[in-house]
Amino acid sequence: MSKILVYVGIAVLAIIAVVMGYQIYEQTTVIKPPPIQQTQDTSVPQTVGNQQTPQPNTQFSSQSEYSEILNFDDGSATKEEKRIWYNSIGRLTKGTDTLDISMCKPNPVVVKLNQNTQLKVTNNDNRDRMILRGDLRYTIPAKQTSTISIKDWGVGILRYRCNTDDGSGAIVGILKIE
């Protein structure tokens, strides 16, 4: 009789583990982005509400789309919201190994590259700029181009910050690393 209870208990725990594992899997499943379409460069107004925001040099349908893409909370988003975000990223992505970070207004805003690629970053400002990604910091001296390795960034769609003139360290761009 006690052996039967042990087997039933093990079976119940196994079922619970499978259900929990499936739920975790569903929350972490990555949605494959759509095919990339190139866009023409254009300008976007610089103000979002009362806050100054770096002006991107990539086509966005609106200033709010620019802000929503950079500040998207993928941790709490639904699958549909993630799908829309990935579609927007795919539409704006430019495959290149060169980035202009002058005035913390990256051109292009969304860059696609391979993980082992060296990224050439140009800063035409009269002051140094710093690209920030978590604990990683890369200083791009004024009026220079620097090459940085992104192999420590990992793979995925990764946002980065720049040391803006107002000191906000705003999220200014995205690297889509494969």
Q: Convert the pLDDT of each residue in 43-95 to its tens digit.
A: 333 333 333 444 444 456 666 777 788 888 878 888 898 888 888 888 888 88
- If you classify domain 36-177 with CATH, what class do you get? mainly beta
pTM score, whole prediction: 0.62
Q: For the chain, report the end-to-end CA distance as a whole number of angstroms.
A: 56
Partners of 132 in beta bridges: 137, 161
Nearest to 159 by CA among 111, 100, 98, 95: 111
pLDDT tens digits, 11-45: 888 888 777 765 655 544 333 343 333 333 333 33
